[in-house]
Structure 1
Amino acid sequence: MNRALLEKPFEPSQIKQRQGKFGHILDYVEGHVVTSRLNDAFDGNWSFEVVKYRILKDTDEVLVLGKLTAEGVTKMAFGSKEIERSKDTKAIISLGDDLKAASTDALKKAASLLGVGLYLYSDQRPNGKPEEGKSETPDKGLPKGNEKNQPGPKNEPSFEGDNGSRLTNKQLAMIFAVGKSKGLQTKEIKDKALATFNKNLNFLTKAEASIFINALQAL
């Protein structure tokens, strides 16, 4: 595995910006840029598939659990996208586009577990206004690469737990137990949670904690 190429920083022109929570400006790269990096690193011999997805009515968002496989190594990550609605009628504009965007988010986070753009997740600083020429709008759509499956009208999976509340102490203990059984140190487990969900481990919801436990078990 060409870790040097996977972890190589992106060109400044490839890095976009968007507004995150609490007014912070976050750096990110578009899905096609990550796809290109994976193609270069693995000579196109990689695959991505959506394992599960769910539409959350309470939070008005879609959740996707994606699986990236390359050279016998599998990484799973969670992606999400707020459902876009018409300002006038509040009707959903395109649920398909929202699911594709969540899939892209999952792919990028799974790729970060291989080192692709990982530094962007660990260095999110409140930089003020976006730099001139950089877009605040994340890309939609599943990147054009070797993805195998997209979310479809198959049996809708169920994610465990209450999606709106914080993870339980039992789930937190399970996360560390599973992670350490896979040879991970405490810091590595926390870093994986940050890379996967873009939030501190202690702030995961019950649903996210369940997904993270499943992802750790799959390592």
Structure 2
Amino acid sequence: MAKQLPYRTVRTAFERFETAEPEPRGELSHTNAYTLLVAVALSAQATDAGVNRATKELFQVADTPERMLALGEEGLVGHIKSIGLYRNKAKNVIKLSRILVDEYGGEVPSSRAALQSLPGVGRKTANVVLNMWWGFPAQAVDTHIFRVANRTGLAPGKDVAAVERAIEDNVPVEFQRHAHHWLILHGRYVCVARKPKCPACLIRDLCLFEDKTA
């Protein structure tokens, strides 16, 4: 695990991210809070591109919890069979849709605790929804963010919870709304796992990673 970079260095790194991409966007297709919630729940152990292919037609017929319940579990399965763990995910989506209708009037709650009480929704999924739909500075730490945070020294931690706290503690507050997306996109396209693209990296001179690629 890398050492924590000094505050001024962290600030410089995020200033560069902001200059390069002032308004980063998540890559999961959605039209409302409900379709975002479903897309994120389906994305566990799957790629965003794969989820988007599956949900393109799904969300045309089921973009609310009521319409998803009308579609039913088997109808949902027919749309998401290309996604890993589709059977279990379909069960959870139908269950959470029923809860949203019965307990929340068909609306997606904007509380982390309420979101996490839904079937198949963990802290990471809740944080993505809070961040992407409501603009709350929640940090959804996935494998990309965990790798980048530790490799660079921007927000090191021994587990995802520690990295989430490190981002909240060390990233200047004005960058926290978009920190999640800057880090995940950096990890997905530049600071990749096997052979990071260090020559193309915006923060290569700030990063603590010792085995930089030429």
Question: The TM-score by the shorter chain falls in which range?
Answer: under 0.3
Q: 1 or 2, which has the higher helix percentage? A: 2
TM-score, structure 1 as length reference:
0.27
TM-score, structure 2 as length reference:
0.27
Larger Rg: 2
